[in-house]
Structure 1
Amino acid sequence: MATVDLFAIGNALIDQEFRIDEQFLQQHALQKGTMQLADAETQIKLHTSLIATQQYKGQASGGSAANTTVAFSALGGKAFYACRVGQDELGEIYLQGLSEAKIQTSEKSLSTGITGTCMVLISEDSERTMQTFLGTTADLSSLQIDFSPLTQAKWLYIEGYLSSSDSARAAVLQARQLAKENQVKIALTLSDPAMVQYARAGLDELLGDGVDLLFCNEQEAMMYTQTDHLAAALTQLQALSQTVVITLGAKGALIATADEQFQVDGRRVHAVDTNGAGDAFAGAFIYALTAGQNLQSAAELAILISSEVVAQYGPRLALADYAKLMQKSQQDKVAV
């Protein structure tokens, strides 16, 4: 197997997207802007109601870390994705999508059970609310992960959604140890306010004694640090990571290290769907770092890519669009 730059671990989910009204969220007791776990029966009931009453926008291979890995690979990086899917039609679709994005996977990823699904509900204000049936990925463990590519990687990327699974956390701890033994940098995303609220102890375990790069949005940052002030949240998070990146939506992103702190402005677009925006941001940011760019340039590329994701339905761009946007970013810098 060829050497990879990024080794990512996360849940494998097929997204079903729907444009919905606010009343629908209330009717189904869904907390806007968060992810909620559900069993198979509850997922089927929600899907049936969505099909009958709301606007279907399409299906896409998803999963937070997978979206990040796709962005990283489409920009030119070499990546491996460790996950678990069922030996069913959705599992085949999922792995085929990764293959088309030139992302390496392992035969170990194919397992018993049903491939997970995520109902992605897009409100009129573009905010995404999710209900997830994890399926077989709920039992992701080290048995489904080929750790060999990690020993030569530059980055290990950990999805915060794994904080709710005992077996997945154990696999992540194994990956963290291997990364440290081979001088591989570690990045982690808090993923979702719901993970901070309901799986805080699991996130603490994933963070361990700290990481090299931490991604979160403004709400997650303040929830995790239990403060109402972003500056105070940033100070606390810096004790957990050498570099902290807090995304601020349309306001851009705040980046901090021990030596510097700065904010990069956002990019104005017509937002229709925020699903996958943070994932794309992380993928572009890490790619830029592996390509030798500084934090400022990495944030600028990440904002460009993620803002384009927000301007369309679905968690990923067409594969060719990532490279086109990177070329545009480079041309804009030359013009300046």
Structure 2
Amino acid sequence: MQFTTIGAAVVDIVVSRVQPMRAAKQDVEHIGLYAGGGAVNAALNVAARGVHVTVHACVGHDLEGDLLRDLLRRHGIQTAIADHALPTGKAVVMVDETGAARAYAQRGASAWVGEQGFPGLEAADVVYVTGLSLESQAWLEQALARLTVSRHRLAVTPGARQLADPQALRGLWDRADLLCVNAREAARLCDDGSLDTDAPSPEIARDLARRLLRRPGQSVLVTLGQGGALFHDGGQGHFHPARIVEPLSTIGAGDAFASAFVHAWASGAAPQAALTAATESAARVIQGIPANLAGPLRT
């Protein structure tokens, strides 16, 4: 299988065990420098399963960009990562004592993936799309439309900018074989303002997933946080409960879940088997501080 991820490659500066600020300076348990971004997190997760992976991303011509490329290569991942005049994207991630994470992002070069095209896209068996700027999304739609043979399966996990403009997302949404969203995102795309929880019942998730289907043959994955996840294969919904573990950090949980599910789903696994693999993947990642299991960035 040739697995291709498309999206952000950034440097995560993770500050853990943050407490409410009581003074101008606060001691914290840990500050670390890690690889991050949806395309990188998904690629590392899938490569650890022995899959041949290529990352399409964009970084600055700087030390941070070199560190990201080096880490991916050390994990056996091919890179189609362009340089940009803007600096490599960065995110400062604050993790509190419960493991809940908040991120402050400077997207930088990561918002320009695809400006120079997507070389080798035609060879992909799976195209896994993470959060994109609207410019990058338009470039990707053009690249997909130019493919003379579309043998790939397209999985789309939209980001904040795409979710803020559902009409702009329509092109990728219609084309996707699998749409991956969390419950609140699903409600937003359904223009349903009644949802007030991250973990609705399986029945509510099933209804949301069914409403998100845009064409025959399409599937939808809705994650429910601690409530588990629901996969709708276009005919019926398949629910799987979450595995309850003590989280060190929730950052990267969505990437770990969705990428593991997509790999299993594209490999032909039954829905419950794919959901189980995804659940175990997310449980492993949230028991660590960074958004993936690659360890800290270093030369």
Alignment TM-score, normalising by the size of structure 1 = 0.76
In structure 2, distance between residues paired with 1:261 and 1:58: 40
Q: List alignment gaps of at least 5 residues for structure 2.
A: 196-203
Over the residues paired in the alignment, what is the CA RMSD in angstroms?
2.4
In structure 2, distance between residues paired with 1:180 and 1:313: 43
Match of 2:12 in 1: 15
1:125 to 69, 88, 98: 98
1:255 to 215, 228, 231: 231
Match of 2:129 in 1: 158
In structure 2, distance between residues paired with 1:178 and 1:98: 28
How many angstroms does 1:151 deviate by? 1.2
What whole-Å deviation, never above 9, does each CA across 1:306-329 have from its counterpart, x for those lacking one? 11111110111248xxxxxxxxxx
Match of 2:119 in 1: 147
How many angstroms does 1:186 deviate by? 0.8
In structure 2, distance between residues paired with 1:128 and 1:158: 23
How many angstroms does 1:21 deviate by? 4.7
Q: What residue identity is the alignment partner of 1:242?
A: Q
Contact 1:115–1:136 at 8 Å: present in 2 too? yes
How has the CA–CA distance of structure 1 residues 127 and 179 changed in structure 2, closer, same or farther, with 3 Å as cutoff?
Answer: farther
Q: State the secondary structure of the residue aligned to 1:83.
A: strand
Structure with greater helix percent: 1
Match of 1:236 in 2: 211
How has the CA–CA distance of structure 1 residues 199 and 123 changed in structure 2, closer, same or farther, with 3 Å as cutoff?
Answer: farther
What is the count of residue pairs matched by the alignment? 282
How many angstroms does 1:220 deviate by? 1.2
Matched, 1:200 2:176: no
How many angstroms does 1:232 deviate by? 3.4
Matched, 1:267 2:243: yes
In structure 1, distance between residues paired with 2:47 and 2:56: 14
Percent of pairs identical after alignment? Answer: 26
Query: Where does 1:32-181 land on structure 2 (aligned, <5 Å)?
Result: 52-53=25-26, 55=28, 56-106=30-80, 109-143=82-116, 145-148=117-120, 150-159=121-130, 161-162=131-132, 164-166=133-135, 168-178=136-146, 181=149
In structure 1, distance between residues paired with 2:98 and 2:65: 32
What whole-Å deviation, never above 9, does each CA across 1:57-95 have from its counterpart, x for those lacking one? 311110012211111111111111111111211001011
Q: What residue identity is the alignment partner of 2:125?
A: K
Q: List alignment gaps of at least 5 residues for structure 1.
A: 28-48, 320-336
In structure 2, distance between residues paired with 1:282 and 1:180: 28
Matched, 1:306 2:274: no
Q: What residue identity is the alignment partner of 2:8?
A: N
How has the CA–CA distance of structure 1 residues 247 and 179 changed in structure 2, closer, same or farther, with 3 Å as cutoff?
Answer: farther
